[in-house]
Structure 1
Amino acid sequence: MIKEVQEQIAYYNARSQEYDEWFYRIGRYDRGLEQNQRWFDEVDILKSALQNIGKVNSILELACGTGIWTQELLKLGARITAIDAFAEMIAINKKKLNDTKIFDYQQVDLFSWQPTTQYDLVFFSFWLSHVSPAQVDEFLTKVYRAVRPDGKVFIIDSCFDATSTAKDHFFENEKAIYQRRKLNNGQEYQIYKIYYQPNVLLDKLTQVGFQASVKQTNNYFIYAEGMKL
């Protein structure tokens, strides 16, 4: 495994107990009432777009993390398979949700993951941007294989905005593929972080076979929906 991937894995393993602070705008991520509200308003756009998919039977969530989006998927799916590389993330997810609709938790390294089942919906959030450019096409091909015919993929990720991250993170180049990240204890890591433009993400999804659409919110998020015909 290449050094950059190893360091990224170490970062997210160490970050598991403080991951929710980012999403819920707590501590170093608190940008004040106005900017926080802008963030949550745009989150609501994502939630609405996801719920518009409607009820499905089976869902695969890749990089399920602490359950922030797993709890939204519970409103859609009869059965959910939730995959993450980190036991700590899965433990938080289980404790937070404790729902029998979650058919199966699997601790799997997504860089070596191979689909063995097809699902009505494959979902992942804030993960594609952490896949190296050299691996992203292969990863999306595997996602395509995991979606049943007439099934869908739904992807959420980040737009480049300085206020989306911690106040002690400083990012100036949205075309760079690496970022330095700090934990609350000050420890630093270098990770992959690729900011996709809508046309680029659309092209990648189309190339692997999806009929797709890609949208952005005003500031923080990019999201895509694709159907496997």
Structure 2
Amino acid sequence: MASLPEVSDTNAAWLVEVDQVVQVLDAAAITGDVVELAAGTGTWSIHLARCATRLTVLDGAAATLARNPVVGQPHVVSVVADLFTWEPDRRYDAVSFTFWVTHVPRERLDDFWARVARALKPGGRVFFVDDRASATDAPHVVAADGQLMSRELDDGRVATIVKNFYEPDELCDAARRAGVELTVGSTPRYFVYGFGVRTAG
């Protein structure tokens, strides 16, 4: 019983920081024709769908998209595609990706930002949120080495994934090389976030 207040305090702090990031998202004016990369099960799609006139949710797994609660809404289109090979068929007013950029290998970071830039109209906006490096302290993380992190799944299996905690300057520099002016911030413990504008034509 003694541990319950601690768990509750942790959850409360996490929720406070989620709310801080939602406020950043609202201020970033991610509106109009929006594409969300790595939309997953839709935790952030819900917020994007409120503001977008058209929302394309894109993910590599059809089963994951099937669990996304915004799929099926009249203004939402779902697309199954590999994010490392996907090319936009038009330019969007905004691009968002949540809990994805830390999974991009370092050797592909420039290519990823170039792809984001190609998906944006001039003046188009970008928003992202991801884990801070403190995520390596989570109980389910069993090892971290270089670009790789091993996590224990609910069924006891261990999965190894790419996980890179980029410094803000690394993200800003890669985005700038692609023609996106990016600002990166963070909440006290859990999240790093960024918002930016496509400046080049």
Question: What TM-score do the two structures reach when normalised by structure 2?
Answer: 0.90
Take 2:55 and 2:137, find their aligned partners in 1: how far apart are those partners?
Answer: 29
Deviation at 1:100, TM superposition (A): 1.6
Take 1:97 and 1:84, find their aligned partners in 2: how far apart are those partners?
Answer: 12
How many residue pairs are counted as aligned between the two chains?
194
Of 18, 22, 38, the match for 1:63: 38
Alignment deviations for residues 158-183 of structure 1 (CA, whole Å, 9 cap, x no partner): 11115763x2324567xx31100121
The answer as to 2:138 corresponding to 1:169 is no
Deviation at 1:55, TM superposition (A): 6.2
Of 86, 92, 95, the match for 2:67: 92
Of 70, 75, 80, the match for 1:101: 75
The answer as to 2:115 corresponding to 1:142 is yes
Take 2:15 and 2:159, find their aligned partners in 1: how far apart are those partners?
Answer: 27
Question: What value does the CA root-mean-square deviation take over the aligned residues?
Answer: 1.8
The letter for the 1-side match of 2:153 is L
Deviation at 1:56, TM superposition (A): 2.2
Of 125, 129, 134, the match for 1:156: 129
The answer as to 2:183 corresponding to 1:213 is yes
Of 193, 196, 199, the match for 1:226: 196
* Comparing 53-62 and 33-42, the one that deviates more: 53-62
Aligned to 1:35: 10
CA contact (8 A) 1:164 1:220 kept: no
Question: For 2:107, what is the secondary structure of its paired residue?
Answer: coil
Identical-residue share of aligned pairs (%): 31
Ranges in structure 2 where 5+ consecutive residues have no aligned partner: 1-5
Bigger strand share? 2
Ranges in structure 1 where 5+ consecutive residues have no aligned partner: 1-30
Deviation at 1:205, TM superposition (A): 1.2
Take 1:162 and 1:141, find their aligned partners in 2: how far apart are those partners?
Answer: 27
Aligned to 1:79: 54
